[in-house]
Amino acid sequence: MLMQARESNANYPSRRREMANFAAREIKRVCKEIGPRASGEENERKAQAYLAESMKSVADSVEIEDFELHPKAFMGWVLLDVCLMLVSGVLLILGLLDVFPAASTALTAVATVLTVLSIVFLVFEFLLYKPLLDPLFPKRKSCNVICTRKPKGEVKRRIVFCGHMDSAYEWTYLRKGGGKVFAAVVGAAFGSVFVQLVLDILAFLPLPGTADTVLLVLAVLTTLLVIPGAFFVNWKCVVPGANDNLTGVFASMAVVRFLAANDIRFENTEVAAVSMGCEEAGLRGAKAFAAKHAESDVETVYIVTDTLRDYDFMGVYNKDMTGIVKLDAQAAALLKAGAKNAGHELPFAKVFFGASDAAALKQGGLCAATLAAMDPTPARYYHTRTDTADNLDLKTLEAGIDVLLETAFLYDAKGLRNEYDTASAAQQ
């Protein structure tokens, strides 16, 4: 039984490079012929249909699983929160100035309620990725595409490689000022929400006159600081999404394509590649997938790949959803060991801001970890119009495919474990 991908073909480096070239060509084709792919919109469906058709010649089965969602609810909460905080701030200021003496306490109370409500939306929609506001936004249809290569015999294990097809609406401050400006604006806006809650509470207390003045100044400041949040998302621009995340989609597909091109079937391990829909709409495609595939009759592991661009920052993500969700320890150990077999000592890392599909899979009860290679600053191309096919890095793309291939072969040989002895892997 083969343990390492590099042992599967005498010309493995050339075959691996072929897969990287395949992925790059497909990324360029999708970007040129289909273009940006907003979650739940026509171009995303076109891209999924194209991928499904292109994989029929190499996969034993290609399945399309439809689901419904409210795609603009995920980032739409930002503008809603800005509106709530502006009203809250104005009411707090009016209360502190005692413009309506008989209603000052009531105004402060309403301000407090609105601030709390905005925090609830922030926590549920962003930190927890819960579809709290979905019914307020239009419904759309999307799909996940599952491409499967069956084993020679009975399926006793399954490994599933995943990436997401959709691309994001542009994030204004990353486009205009890069990571530092982005961090400053987001930090100030988020911080002001929680500071205003403190101000709301203090406004109910009997304070010296000078303290009231300080509260008033801070209330004006926090109100002003949330205004830039209204321009956080550029709803007129959907980014090309070449690196985030066509690299993850076609690196996953490259695993199935490599096995087919080299006539490799594992004895009892099924290999699948999934193109997820609507990751940029709050992981909705992965949530739908997890709900449908929560029950499995065999051991199954999910390896999510998201953004193979910055070689020096390649890592195994074992924490997700801005560090809140712990991904599966065995899946992370498998991926790390697969990377070592490919010649890469990858560190464990966490999603610095936002989330990957692995978080939704893990929350749905599935065994998942993430491979990514993106500058956590974040990178200037991240969620901007500069994420084009011209900005691909073939070295990183090939290295990522190599890691995925070695992970597949390692899983076939050893399954899920807490630890792997990669030094003696080839002999076992």
The stretch 248-265 carries a mean pLDDT of: 97
Are 7 and 342 a contacting pair, CB within 8 Å? no
In this structure, are strands 157-164 and 269-276 parallel, antiparallel, or unpaired?
parallel
- CA 219 to chain CA centroid, nearest Å: 35
Proportion of the chain in helix, strand, coil states, percent, rounded to 5: 55, 15, 30
Question: pLDDT for 97-113, tens place per residue?
Answer: 989 989 999 999 999 99
Residue 9 has pLDDT above 60, yes or no: yes
- Using CA atoms of 25, 30, 36, 38 in order, give the dihedral in degrees to the nearest 10: -120
pLDDT at 138: 95
pLDDT in tens, 180-216: 899 999 999 999 999 999 999 999 988 777 888 899 9
Confidence of residue 296 (pLDDT cuts 50, 70, 90): confident
Distance between CA atoms of residues 368 and 330, nearest Å: 9
CA distance linking residue 222 with residue 17, whole number of Å: 53
Mean pLDDT rounded to a whole number for the chain? 94
**Architecture category of domain 5-72+141-168+239-427 in CATH:** 3-Layer(aba) Sandwich (3.40)
Average pLDDT over residues 139-152: 98
Question: Does residue 39 carry a pLDDT above 90?
Answer: yes
Could you report how far apart the first and last alpha carbons of the chain are, in Å? 9
pTM: 0.93
Cis peptide leading into residue 240 (ω within 30°) = no
What's the pLDDT score for residue 206?
86
Each domain of the chain, given as residue ranges in start order, spans 5-72+141-168+239-427, 75-134+174-234
What percentage of the chain exceeds 90 in pLDDT?
87
pLDDT band at 423 (very low <50, low <70, confident <90, very high): low
